[in-house]
């Protein structure tokens, strides 16, 4: 499971002209679910998102988490994070989890984060989405449950 986490001042996602998710200060998270991802991968990503400390403290050091700053998450499923471009120029998405597997995993991840007291908004699975964000910093962190970074 892969996540691209961007610290944002605000973010939103629209589907067919309708705003389906919107947050203020927090994280814009693009999530890619891959074949073979398990509950352990979900737990790893949830723990990292909840505990990630990339907001500045009084000394201007990245030392505060979402909970510390009252932050929110906008989580958008993005199968293209499983794209492999090592051969040629057209990405292969063969390792992306099938929608019937990926969607419930995304839903479970959202629920786990909410259980930690963090507000989570989402996009709409299997639709064309327009995502807007104001990156704060910019700060962008990559999390991969299999590579441990």
Active-site annotation holder among 6, 55, 79, 122: 79
Which two tokens mark 110? 């959202």
Distance between CA atoms of residues 82 and 51, nearest Å? 24
Give 133's strand partners.
11
Distance between CA atoms of residues 27 and 54, nearest Å? 10
* Contacts for 11 with CB less than 8 Å, ≥ 6 apart: 22, 23, 26, 28, 74, 131, 132, 133, 134
Active-site annotation holder among 6, 55, 78, 122: 78
Cα angle at 18 between 16 and 23, to 5 degrees?
A: 125
SS3 36: coil
80 catalytic? Reply is yes
111 catalytic? Reply is no
Active-site annotation holder among 9, 38, 80, 140: 80
78 catalytic? Reply is yes
**Active-site residue set:** 78-80
């Amino acid at each position: 499971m892969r996540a691209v986490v961007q610290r944002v001042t605000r973010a939103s996602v629209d589907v067919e002209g309708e705003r389906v998710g919107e947050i203020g200060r927090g994280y814009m998270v693009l999530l890619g679910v891959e074949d073979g991802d398990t509950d352990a991968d979900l737990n790893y990503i949830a723990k990292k998102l909840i505990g990630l400390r990339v907001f500045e403290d009084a000394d201007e050091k990245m030392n505060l988490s979402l909970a510390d700053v009252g932050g929110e998450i906008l989580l958008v499923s993005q199968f293209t994070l499983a794209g492999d471009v090592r051969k040629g120029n057209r990405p292969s998405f063969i390792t992306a989890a099938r929608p019937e597997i990926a969607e419930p995993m995304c839903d479970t991840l959202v629920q786990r984060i909410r259980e930690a007291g963090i507000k989570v908004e989402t996009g709409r699975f299997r639709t064309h989405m327009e995502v807007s964000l104001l990156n704060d910093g910019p700060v962008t962190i990559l999390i991969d449950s299999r590579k441990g970074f």
